[in-house]
Structure 1
Amino acid sequence: MHRADIRLPELQLYSGPAGGQGDHRGTNLVSAYSSRQAVVRSWLSENDVCAMVISSAANIRYLSGFTGEGHLVLFAGGGGLCTDGRYELQAAEESPELDCVLSSDGHLGAVIEYARAQGVERLGFEENVVTYAAYRRLEEEFGADALRATSSITQDARTVKDDDEIARIRRAAGIVDEALTGFLDQLQPGMTEKEAAFELDRRILTGGADAIAFQTILASGPSAACPHARPSSRVLREGDMVKVDVGGRVDGYCSDITRTVFLGDPDERFVEVYSLVYEAQGAALERVGPGAECRELDEIARQIISDGGYGDAFSHGLGHGVGLEVHEAPRLSARSTDTLAPGMVVTVEPGVYLEGWGGVRIEDLVLVTERGYEVLTGTPKWRDDCGR
């Protein structure tokens, strides 16, 4: 058995570098972490489970503020971050109320040793995150009957954002709006897709984003027929449609927006397809609000596109939740069982994709409010009959 090096709370009240200010998170954020952890502890009590292992990086950050690598273990009386020496000081800074657990047996070894030290007999784990190899090791240590699988405790809690989370998403969306609007106004033939995507990313980062939320999608001409095409060495040409799907990240929270533009005077087919997608998005947006069934929103947009003759070309769901991850619950799709509630942030993004021709997608980020919705993304869409 490898020794677990546990930094108990009284030893981990790290005050930062000399002259530092200690825990910089503020009372509101610390209170938020405590409230979020209480949801997990309530599940533990209701299900007669001693402790829960959280392995999703997004869930760990949501519950504790920790942004390093490892696992979070929560039990009724406390919790610990099972990590390694690279993140010891970081854990003390970001999550000083939690034990910092280090082990020569790796992150999972630290989990096992910490759980043993706490007298844990029944252990919960995230079944959609833990690998089969990790599960087998937990099974060997605790026995199959002692393990409790769950996948939705923290994910469900994350669907409704608090004011602080909304402010971060709003900030990320605003930074991307400013960058994208200026970028599209200056987009010209002659650049490659890769060069154009690099320039857009540069604007977002210099504009204040901490990171790009996901690899920027920028596809021109026939390449736009692939919903998630990656930038290539193709040179932008006069008469190309250009589909741009991009997001920024601020304090861990993401934004997501898609605009499709045309270089030059748009042809009749582009105007037809763009107008249809624009109509479908507008109709779905008008139905966003508390109590709206996500499946029905998808149906509204899909029916309009189908009536326009392009039903088979709308090949994905209408949207998804956005937060610490760019794709999270709720899901807006034909199979969704989710219902919208105030505080949810979702995308509404119908599209039409035609092999050999190209594709059009229009995506906005939307906050569900008590009375309806607020669009958080403001980059102008096509105007003047789809011309710039």
Structure 2
Amino acid sequence: MSEFDFEVVEYENRLEAAQTLMLRDRLDAILITSEDHFRYFTGFNSPTWVNLTRPRYAVLPCQGEIILIIPTSNSEIALRTSWVRDVRTWISPRPEDDGISLLRDAISSVPLRYGRVGAELGPESRLTMPAGDFLRLGREISSTELVDAYPLLRELLMRKSATEVEKIRAIGQIASSAYEALPALLRAGMSIREACTSFRHELLERGAEASPYVIGVAERFGYPCINLDPSAKKISEGDVLVIDTGSTRHGYFCDFNREYAFGPLNEKLRRIYEIVWNATEVGINATEPGRTMGDIWQQMSDSMQQASGAFGLPFEPFELGRMGHGLGLRMCESPSIAPGVDTVVEPGMVLTIEPSMAYQIDVDGETRRYVSVHEENIAVTSNGVSLLNRRAPREMPIIG
């Protein structure tokens, strides 16, 4: 019985594309250890990734079939979820040799044309194996150079297939429905944690498989940051609540937020919401094939600066470092929508558009700094962009 996320031909196309780039970059093989890359190339899918006791390895050769090296306890998982048929196993955990000799032999069996094997070593990448074992592997294949393969992987994963895009659209629509259901469930006096728990329930009831990232922040005149774990703090009349989620279906993420006002909204906050909402629209419309990520960032920044001036508000950029990013099997992927980033928009990219600004308000005689962040998920096509979730309301929803 097979439970593949995709048709086998899609996995075959991914391997073929990777092998073409490996020839270009003079790599004999790539070692894959991280959950998202593992699933992308092999289909292997299991909640046992939370168990760091047992590593897993995949070797992508420049020519030939993928070699899967996994603990014996994962054999049935591989049979059901992976298209790979060269599966080698060992009894794990075995700290003295937790699959390393099998991995060494697999790499040694690959024809070595260049003497170079890639691994997930560069910025934004992670090895999901003990660092000591990676160093040991390097010693045991000392005639082969271990180099960074992440630029190749990043190039490959930045462009999604139509099937991948539809999986992201599916979770985007699920999360949109969950957000839209919240006003009927929220009330002043409940805790931020209770509000976010209600949201998680809505996500799961509507078809999300997991919600590993749900944050919630609420204060009287907005929120001072966007990445706090939901707390037991009670939501009061006059608060603004922001909830942000990275939820998944078939491993693919959505990533966007929504805001809710409890009681009448302060006029300054209403205008700031409008400024950032409009900047999101500017960013969506600016995302066209041929433009750079830096261009998109600049247009959103200019939009907020000009609108702030028109309202008589000082414009303060929020130091997030970027206003959007790639999206897929990771919640945050390359590229970044940031100043000076010259990565060109291409069809097949899935991006978050995420403008943000900071503002100050006097609260009980004290000047406090808050932020406003809006985020939407889009796919780039040859004809423009497609929104993968439903757009935020033009005006902040009022609770009560």
What per-residue deviation string (whole Å, max 9, x for no partner) do you get for residues 32-55 of structure 1? 111111122223434444322112
Alpha-carbon distance in 2 for matches of 1:266, 1:347? 27
Pair 1:107–1:40, CA change in 2 (3 A): farther
Alpha-carbon distance in 2 for matches of 1:196, 1:109? 50
Q: Secondary structure at the match of 2:277?
A: helix
CA contact 1:193–1:235 (8 Å) conserved in 2: yes
Counterpart AA for 2:107:
A
Percent identical among aligned pairs is: 22
2:323 to 315, 318, 323: 318
- Equivalent position of 2:94 in the other structure: none
- Equivalent position of 1:61 in the other structure: 39
Question: Is 1:245 matched with 2:257?
Answer: no
**What is the total number of aligned residue pairs between the two structures?**
364
Question: Is 1:80 matched with 2:61?
Answer: no
- Equivalent position of 2:268 in the other structure: 269
Question: Is 1:25 matched with 2:33?
Answer: no
- Equivalent position of 2:301 in the other structure: 302
TM-score with structure 2 length normalisation?
Answer: 0.84
Counterpart AA for 1:268:
E
- Equivalent position of 1:133 in the other structure: 132
Counterpart AA for 1:93:
R
Pair 1:236–1:87, CA change in 2 (3 A): same
Alpha-carbon distance in 1 for matches of 2:200, 2:186? 14
CA contact 2:316–2:358 (8 Å) conserved in 1: no
- Equivalent position of 1:196 in the other structure: 195
CA contact 2:58–2:67 (8 Å) conserved in 1: yes
CA contact 1:192–1:235 (8 Å) conserved in 2: yes
Pair 1:295–1:134, CA change in 2 (3 A): farther
Alpha-carbon distance in 1 for matches of 2:320, 2:276? 13
Question: Is 1:332 matched with 2:337?
Answer: yes
CA contact 2:317–2:356 (8 Å) conserved in 1: no
Pair 1:367–1:109, CA change in 2 (3 A): same
Alpha-carbon distance in 1 for matches of 2:144, 2:103? 18
Q: CA deviation at 1:85?
A: 1.7
1:362 to 374, 390, 396: 374
Q: CA deviation at 1:204?
A: 0.2
Alpha-carbon distance in 2 for matches of 1:269, 1:123? 56
- Which stretch of structure 1 is more off in the superposition, 170-179 or 305-314? 305-314
Alpha-carbon distance in 2 for matches of 1:96, 1:315? 40
Alpha-carbon distance in 1 for matches of 2:9, 2:230? 42
Pair 1:231–1:113, CA change in 2 (3 A): same
Alpha-carbon distance in 2 for matches of 1:295, 1:373? 17
CA contact 1:124–1:150 (8 Å) conserved in 2: yes
- Equivalent position of 2:311 in the other structure: none
1:51 to 5, 16, 29: 29
Which consecutive residues of structure 1, in runs of 5 or more, have no partner in the other structure?
1-21
CA contact 1:225–1:354 (8 Å) conserved in 2: no
TM-score with structure 1 length normalisation?
Answer: 0.86
Q: Secondary structure at the match of 2:291?
A: coil
Any runs of at least 4 consecutive aligned residues in structure 1 with deviations exceeding 4 A, and if so which?
117-122, 385-388
Root mean square deviation, CA, Å: 2.3
CA contact 2:218–2:242 (8 Å) conserved in 1: yes
- Which stretch of structure 1 is more off in the superposition, 283-292 or 190-199? 283-292
Question: Is 1:219 matched with 2:217?
Answer: yes
Alpha-carbon distance in 2 for matches of 1:117, 1:366? 42
Q: CA deviation at 1:145?
A: 5.0
Alpha-carbon distance in 1 for matches of 2:149, 2:133? 15
